[in-house]
Every structure is written in C-alpha cells, then in structure tokens.
Amino acid sequence: MENRDLEYVGFWLRVAASIIDTVLLLLVTYPVLLAIYGATYFNEATLIHGPVDFLLSWVFPAVAVIWFWVARGGQTPGKMVIGAKIVDAETGGPISASKGVVRYLGYFVSLIGLFVGYLWVGFDPKKQGWHDHIAGTVVVRKKTAVVFGGS
C-alpha cells in the first residue's frame, strides 16, 4: 500500500481507540447483563453465566466490531474519534468480511505471551500487530500536518 497522504497509526492512539470502543460496548452490554443476572454477575468467577451472557459478552462484540470494520469503512467508533481506519495492507482498500473475521480471531493470538502481539504495534515499521499481520491489514489515518513557527 503506497499513499503519501496516509500514515500508519501507532500503539497509543490505537489503545485510545480500543478504550473508547470497550467503554461503548460495556455501556450497551452491562446494563442488560445486570438486569438479567443481577449484581452477583460481577461477583462470580464463572466465565459464562448463561446463553444471554454468551451472546452479549462474546458474540455481540465480535459481530459489532467486524460489522464496523467491513460495513462502516474500517472504522469502529474509537477509530472514528482518532481519524483512523483499517484497510487491506496490499491494496489500501476496504477489508473483506473474511479478513475481518481473521483479524478478530487474530486478537486472541495477539494475547499470547502477555499481549506481545499488541505490543508489537510499537515496534513494527507499519505499526501492525500480530492480528494485522495474520489478516493482512494495516491501520492508517490522514497525515497530520506539523507546523513550526506560526504567525
């Protein structure tokens, strides 16, 4: 992908976008989970409390995130805030649904070894995490102009 108007998005901006996305997902899912399972939901160590928990905590986030990547121009709400989008690493175009699924599953690979796959973004020349390498994606945004001096 060659585009002089775009730059790869680094680690800390991507962390900020992920925090925004996580908070928004929690604002949607936790009230429903609390209404269904009660306050004990947060005190129990059970991974999955029931079918609604599985759907809201595992399936809904995956479907929502992949939908944003594929149908909303490669941007989750967090990526919209920072002006970034996920694109195909070779073409610079939108990603396919299959690339979206592979990228999402790649998140679990990136968790291995104390989040090394995510930390990789900070050291990679194209700012790709393991999930990006696996799916063939990059996260880009329009270059920010740096103005020195001023009037």
How would you classify residue 143: left for phi > 0, otherwise alpha for psi between -120 and 50, otherwise beta? beta
pLDDT tens-digit series, residues 53-109: 999 999 999 999 999 999 999 999 999 999 999 999 999 999 999 999 999 999 999
Q: Report CA 25 to chain centroid distance, whole Å.
A: 12
Q: In whole angstroms, what is the distance from residue 146 CA to residue 58 CA?
A: 41
pLDDT band at 42 (very low <50, low <70, confident <90, very high): confident
Indicate the residue type of 130.
Answer: W
Residue-range domain boundaries for the chain: 6-142
pLDDT tens-digit series, residues 140-151: 999 876 556 655
pLDDT tens-digit series, residues 79-94: 999 999 999 999 999 9
**CB neighbours of residue 66 within 10 Å:** 19
